[in-house]
Homo-oligomer: A and B are copies of this chain.
Amino acid sequence: MGRVVVDVMPKPEILDPQGKAVAAALGRLGFGQFGAVRQGKRFELEVEGEVTEEVIAAARAAGEQVLSNPVIEDVVAVYAEEQQA
């Protein structure tokens, strides 16, 4: 069984209040070296069998059509992941 990861992030020009809140919390909690934070989503999609080029292409299409809101988000990465165990 294979697994594909699809990473979705808010577009750079979109404000990310969730990320700003996280950055403020990090600063208060001793992690002030991280000046800015953006928060997005990570999806793990399971497929039967191997992760082929077609599976990656389908995962990218799913990311663009279903998993992200293209008005405010970008699919920033689509890649196969090694299965642990």
| A42-B42, A44-B40 known; A22-B67 Cβ under 8 A | yes
* A33 CA to B45 CA, complexed, in Å: 9
A interface residues with partner B (beta carbon < 8 Å): 4, 7-9, 19, 22, 25-26, 29, 31, 33-48, 55, 58-59, 61-62, 65-67
B33 near A47: Cβ-Cβ < 8 Å: yes
* Oligomeric state, in copies: 2
Since A7-B42, A9-B42 are in contact, a sample of 4 more A-B pairs with Cβ atoms closer than 8 Å, ordered by chain A residue number, is: A29-B62, A31-B62, A37-B43, A39-B44
* A35 CA to B47 CA, complexed, in Å: 6
| A31-B58, A62-B26, A65-B29 known; A39-B42 Cβ under 8 A | yes
